[in-house]
Amino acid sequence: RVAHRDVHGWLVFMAMVSLLDKLAIIACAVFYYCSIFYDICSYMNLPMFTPVKNVYIDGVFDLCHLGHKNHIARALNYGNRLFVGVMSDEDVRKYKRDPIMTLEE
């Protein structure tokens, strides 16, 4: 632990390699930063190294509740980028009822 943070396992290895050759430490540093970048992209679900699969859902999300949240979470299981369409007030009136909150709200 350095400065109350965990030391990454590669840092110890890079410190030992730096005693041998400068080209080796540069290669280790490039590998280290690429692996950290990959970890961040994977954690944040950024499609840097994976193909993008778009998912589209739409619905009447008037007064959003837990069922809507579960619906959105299940839809995200089918891809890694989710687009949510919100129906207009006219379509809501035709499909269900008069909306409690308008589209602008």
pLDDT at 7: 66
The total number of structural domains in the chain stands at 2
User: What is the sign of the dihedral through the CA atoms of 27, 29, 32 and 36?
Assistant: negative
DSSP string, 21-59: -HHHHHHHHHHHHHHHHHHHHHHTT-TTSS---EEEEEE
User: Going by DSSP bridges, is the β-strand pair 81-86/54-59 parallel, antiparallel, or unpaired?
Assistant: parallel
Q: What is the pLDDT of residues 40-95, one digit of tens each?
A: 887 887 777 778 889 999 888 878 889 989 999 999 899 888 999 888 888 888 88
pTM of the shown model: 0.54
Residue 23 within any structural domain of the chain:
yes
Q: Same domain, yes or no, for 58 and 82?
A: yes
pLDDT given for residue 15 in this prediction: 74
Q: H/E element holding 84?
A: strand 81-86
The HSE-up count of residue 103 (CA atoms within 13 Å, CB side) is 11
Same domain, 14 and 38: yes
* pLDDT score for 2: 47
Q: Do 86 and 58 belong together in one domain?
A: yes
Question: What is the domain range of residue 33?
Answer: 9-43
